[in-house]
Structures are given as C-alpha cells and as structure tokens.
Amino acid sequence: MRNAPLFSSRVCLGLGTTLLCAVWQCVAAPALGLMAWAGFAGCTCYFACPDKGLKGLKSCFPCVFSGVAYAYLSLWISAFVPVSAVNVCAALVITHLMCVQSAIPAFSYIPGTFFGSFSTFAAGGSIKIIPCLALGLLLGIGCDKLGQVLFKYLGKEK
C-alpha cells in the first residue's frame, strides 16, 4: 500500500531537475569536453518555452538553431568586414530578422532564437555550442519528465 503523498508537483520537478542537472554538470565537461553552462542555457530555453514536452522541443529546436546561425552570420560579417559602422548595421539588420522570423510558425518562439544567438556569442563562436544546446534542450525535457514521474510516485497536488 502506498504511503501518504509527500511532495507537490513543483517540488518533484525541482528534485528531478536537480538530479539530472547534477549529472550533466559532472559529465558535460569532464567526460564529453562540452560547456556545461551552454547545456544549462538549452535547458533554460526549454523551461522558458510556453509549450512543454515534444511540442516544446518542436518550438525550441528550430528557433535556437536559427539563433546560432544568425550569430555565426554576424561573426562572419565582423571578421570579413572589420569596420565598426558596418558591424553595427549588420547587428541591427540581423536582430530585426531574428524578430520578424516569428511570422513563420516553426520559428515563432523568438526567445529561443535569442538563447541560441547569445549562447553562440558567449561561446566565442565555438562549434561546440551546437551539441551543448541540443543536449541542453533534451536535458530540459528530461528534467520535466523525471519530475512528472517523481510526482506520480511521491506527489500530492495542492
């Protein structure tokens, strides 16, 4: 017979997230040579998305990686034409494009686009940002699902 429920869904989500993020932190850099912080950016992007589960991933992936592409475009322009005024204009045009892409349903989660872009800049343009963000998005859904499983066995809705 099952004991009395112990935890709210929020507490179970927190426990699941703590567990999986601790594993990510221990494995990302030492074992995989990846930037743990970038995985956390992907995980945060998933949790910031209004959709959860597979629908959330379908919202996040194209937007995050369009942001990565925009950042690489910006980095390429600044390397190709090292003139401040040109780079400022390019940044303005690229930022505008990042926002107007929301007219395309698959690219409507604009914060995801900015997650991808700023993470790429923070990584100094390292190509490692791509697997880090992808694994981070998967980490996010994993945390979400583990929290649901924990709630099923330990939980109590208020």
Q: What is the pLDDT of residues 93-151, one digit of tens each?
A: 999 999 999 999 999 999 999 999 999 999 999 999 999 999 999 999 999 999 999 99
Specify the amino acid at residue 84: S
The DSSP output letter for 155 is: B
CA-based nearest residue to 44, from 147, 92, 94, 114: 114
Spell out the domain ranges in the chain.
9-154
Which residue(s) pair with 155 in the sheet?
A: 7
Q: Which of 25, 46, 44 is nearest to 36 (CA)?
A: 25
* Interior angle at CA 134, CA 120 and CA 35, nearest 5: 55
Nearest partner of 101 among 140, 137, 59, judged by Cα: 59
Q: What does the pLDDT read at residue 1?
A: 40
Token digits of residue 111: 């914060």
**pLDDT for position 45:** 97
Which pTM was predicted? Answer: 0.90
pLDDT given at position 7: 85
Q: Which two tokens stand for residue 47?
A: 């949790």
Question: Any residues with CB less than 8 A from the CB of 25 and at least 6 apart, and which?
Answer: 36
Q: Which of 143, 118, 151 is nearest to 38 (CA)?
A: 118
Q: Model confidence at 3, in pLDDT bands (50, 70, 90)?
A: low
